[in-house]
Chain A
Amino acid sequence: MILSRRARILLFVAMMLGLAVIYVPLLVVVVNSFNSSRTFGWPPSGFTLDWWARTIDNAGMLQALLTSVEAGIGATAVALVLGTMAAFAVQRFKFFGRDTISLLVILPLALPGVVTGIALNNAFRAVLQPFGISLSLFTVIVGHATFCIVIVYNNVLARLRRLGGSLEEASMDLGADVFQTFRFVTFPLIRTALLSGGLLAFALSFDEIIVTTFTAGPGVTTLPIWIFSNLFRPNQAPVINVVAAALVILSVLPVWLATRVGGESAGGRI
């Protein structure tokens, strides 16, 4: 497209403004975590590492972090198994209702979290409570796994589409059975897709708050829930600032890793 110099400059400025809108708030959070003022007024009055040092051994935060990691690992494990199975079924077979599966898989992520959360909360209380299972970390994992499946599914599906089936056929022609083919041919080929899907699923679970609110038992506090419950307490502001800054830095990491190890796209969330 032939654009005048002025149009190009205008577009460039608009783009830079857009990127600034995206990044300035995140930068403010990171800068504020080193702000020596207790009220965190802007501009920062001085530089301190005090808040970071104080946050690192905050017991409540560490406990919440541990819970979040446990929930994330549990949900990712379930999502890896179910997402991969569904991806294989959809990519390698033709059957009635195949398109419905893709819709079904994305539904938990597409519907508002508050709807999914209430539905699961209702079901857990009606079905599990009579068996003596109350809301707990287990129910959080079930809830998270439900919307993490699609991430793994998308990653594996895209990989399978690119691979085609000829390598597997060759393996079978050479006498390998179904399991050997999966272990020695298919699995090594989809390993990086699983890794990137797993990382993204973990990131999604780690960050989730709405479904968590409805599926967590009274004693289960994940990191987002802990942040939210301390957000409105002025005396906790230094700790919250540091945790938020750390999360900004940390959240970039799994996504960057996922794209490095050969994920199809970081946009898999959409």
Chain B
Amino acid sequence: MRTATLSRVLYRKPLLRLGSLLSLPLLWLVIAYLGSLAAMFLTAFWTVDAFTGNPVPGFSLGNFGSLFSDPTYLAVAARSLGVAAGVTVIDAIIALPLAFFMAKVASPRAQRFLVAAVLTPLWASYLVKAYAWRVMLGGSGVLDWMIGGGSQSYYGLTATTVTLAYLWLPYMILPVYAGLERIPNSLIEASSDLGASAWRTFRSVILPLLFPAVVAGSIFTFSLTLGDYITVKIVGGKSQLFANVIYDNVVTADNLPFAAAAGLFPVAVP
């Protein structure tokens, strides 16, 4: 009987229904998640007590000051941006023909198969993919065997760029593929009818229309690269990227205010 009453009340009052549906998700996401995010970025303005190492509330731009003036941090930031740009370029070069073939050349059946073939490894473990490149580039690994080197390993910044490009490749393929799907075939045919070669059509019709999709993919590759500190530990040799600065300041230096200030970088740049 009581559920019937409750049901009647819920039925008559849509606002109550909406409120009860939204209550828990909002409680979780706004209070638990946005709350912690806000609190963290607030601590970016705090300082650290030199003796106890505890964060001291207050308002100071000191963390940002040292972040922007210390040449080490600037170098790491520049290096990370360079790696992110490299990752984006590699991904775009691989993704464009692949997505183009999927969207415009393959038969519908082959298309379904290809989408599944590209998407499935997206879900393969991140760590396993990075490890796969550690194996490929390691001493007497596949690369070493292919170029006939003397059992040496090839870890470093280039290895990191390649591995990150591998990890984020589906994040570029998917938006580009979706973008190509949205370009009507009639536009491409019209361009051909007007005498444009395939290359000219690609350059003057498809590429401009595809630009927003490539930008969307690049946002993924940039933000994911700038937030990653694990791949560089696995295949980077001794190199460091910007997220390592954040990580080390939390875990090793226990300087949360500085880490929070640094954490704004991968959020703000893309």
Listed in ascending order, the chain A residues whose CB lies under 8 Å from chain B are: 1-4, 7-8, 11-12, 14-15, 17-19, 21-26, 28-29, 32, 39-43, 78, 81-83, 85-86, 88-89, 93, 95, 101, 104-105, 107-108, 110-116, 118-123, 126, 142, 145-146, 149, 172, 177-180, 200, 203, 206-207, 209-210, 214, 224, 227-228, 231, 240-241, 244, 247-248, 251-252, 254-256, 259, 265-267, 269-270
Q: Beta-carbon contacts of B1-44 to A below 8 Å, as 1s and 0s?
A: 00110111011001001100110111011101111110110010
Minimal beta-carbon separation of A252 from chain B (angstroms): 5
Chain A residue with Cβ nearest B145 = A42
**Chain A residues with CB under 8 A of B73:** none
Asked if A15 and B128 sit within 8 Å, CB to CB, the answer is: no
Asked if A247 and B124 sit within 8 Å, CB to CB, the answer is: yes
Minimal beta-carbon separation of B87 from chain A (angstroms): 14
Chain A residue with Cβ nearest B141 = A42
Known A209-B127, A247-B125; 18 more pairs at CB < 8 Å: A1-B198, A15-B98, A25-B129, A39-B140, A41-B141, A93-B21, A112-B228, A112-B243, A112-B263, A115-B263, A122-B36, A123-B35, A126-B39, A145-B28, A177-B11, A244-B131, A254-B123, A270-B170
CA A42 to CA B144, docked complex, whole Å = 8
Q: Is the interface of A mostly helix, strand, loop or mixed?
A: helix
B58 close to chain A: CB less than 8 A:
no
Minimal beta-carbon separation of B134 from chain A (angstroms): 7
Total B residues in contact with A, Cβ cutoff 8 Å: 94
Asked if A118 and B260 sit within 8 Å, CB to CB, the answer is: yes
Minimal beta-carbon separation of B124 from chain A (angstroms): 4
Q: Is the interface of B mostly helix, strand, loop or mixed?
A: helix
Asked if A81 and B24 sit within 8 Å, CB to CB, the answer is: yes
Q: Beta-carbon contacts of B168-189 to A below 8 Å, as 1s and 0s?
A: 0111001100000000010011
Asked if B22 and A86 sit within 8 Å, CB to CB, the answer is: yes
Asked if B117 and A19 sit within 8 Å, CB to CB, the answer is: yes
Asked if B259 and A113 sit within 8 Å, CB to CB, the answer is: no
**Chain A residues with CB under 8 A of B74:** none
**Chain A residues with CB under 8 A of B102:** 15
Asked if B21 and A85 sit within 8 Å, CB to CB, the answer is: yes
**27 A-B pairs with C-beta separation under 8 A:** A8-B105, A11-B97, A18-B98, A26-B124, A85-B24, A86-B22, A101-B22, A101-B26, A108-B29, A114-B243, A114-B266, A115-B40, A115-B266, A119-B37, A120-B36, A122-B43, A123-B36, A126-B39, A146-B32, A177-B8, A207-B127, A209-B230, A210-B230, A244-B125, A256-B120, A266-B120, A267-B122
Asked if B131 and A29 sit within 8 Å, CB to CB, the answer is: yes
**Chain A residues with CB under 8 A of B118:** 19, 22
**Chain A residues with CB under 8 A of B259:** 118
Asked if A112 and B224 sit within 8 Å, CB to CB, the answer is: yes
Which has the most chain A C-beta neighbours within 10 Å: B170, B227, B234, B256? B227
CA A122 to CA B98, docked complex, whole Å = 42
B94 close to chain A: CB less than 8 A:
yes
